[in-house]
Amino acid sequence: MGFVTEPLWTGVAVALVTLFDDDGAVDAPATAAHAARLAGEGVQAVLVGGSTGESDTLTDAELAGLTAAVRTALPASVPVVTGASGAWRGAAAARIAAAVGAGADAVLVAPPRRPGDLTAYFDAAAKAAGAAPVLAYHFPGTAGGEVPVAALPDLPIAGLKDSTGSAERLLQELAVWDRAVYVGSSALLLMAGAVGAAGAILAVANTHPAESVAAFAGDAGAQRALLAAHLRSKERFPAGLKAMMAERYGTSPTARMA
């Protein structure tokens, strides 16, 4: 199976938070409005329902509704990627198909914690996604299991998000693979841009989009300036990030994951 090696986007994407009302219900309009605001501030793509979006707490219907709301709120030039994983290939395929049907331009798929046949799992994901690219998600322990570097050339995927923050692994990925690699740690932005990564998908871009874009473009001062936000966003995740958002934008700090 052949794959287009041209990235769906280059530069910084936001790993979008999911906003909830005071009772813990999904506030899709507010979430979509925040996505549109960030696109206006320079992010090149939006990930809905990833780890930052508290994906473990969302039903399939909520995820599809969020995808549709965000896709409607953004210009066509800003891709929407939906996190759509599963504990086995059938569950993942159903969630992927629903996300693409709701308007996702691509899907981000973590392998199960016990993946078994990794190629078969991603074959099922690619089939369910149809023409939409599948990006693998490597963040073992937080989002499913491992995507080994050695497996990358043989997987039916168009790209990879690696949120481990490992500079060594990033270099290994770029050495063995010609498809899009996106970092998930804002601490690696300057390096990622310098060594040829396609971009980044960041939680901290919810509050510091301009600084994130500048750091990936080579601004060392912006990279250093992101440290405080990077560290605070990890506090009682996602509570620290949502508190920063509330301070900057007046959005709800409510989280389902406490």
161 a catalytic residue:
yes
Here the tokens at position 200 are 């980044």
Cα 189–Cα 190–Cα 195 angle in degrees, nearest 5 = 100
91 within 8 A of 111, measured Cβ to Cβ: no
Bridge partner residues of 13 (DSSP): 45, 201
Give the C-alpha separation, 101 to 128, whole Å. Answer: 10
Give the C-alpha separation, 174 to 108, whole Å. Answer: 19
Cα 83–Cα 251–Cα 35 angle in degrees, nearest 5 = 40
Give the C-alpha separation, 107 to 126, whole Å. Answer: 9
Which residue shows structure tokens 């322990």?
Answer: 141
Q: Which of 121, 161, 182, 242 is catalytic?
A: 161
Total residues found in the chain within this entry = 258
Strands 159-162 vs 134-138: parallel, antiparallel or unpaired: parallel
Kind and range of the H or E run holding 64: helix 60-73
Q: Dmax of the chain from CA atoms? A: 47
Q: Which of 121, 137, 182, 242 is catalytic?
A: 137
137 a catalytic residue:
yes
Interacting residues of 193 by C-beta distance below 8 A, sequence separation 6+: 215, 216, 217, 218
Catalytic residues: 137, 161
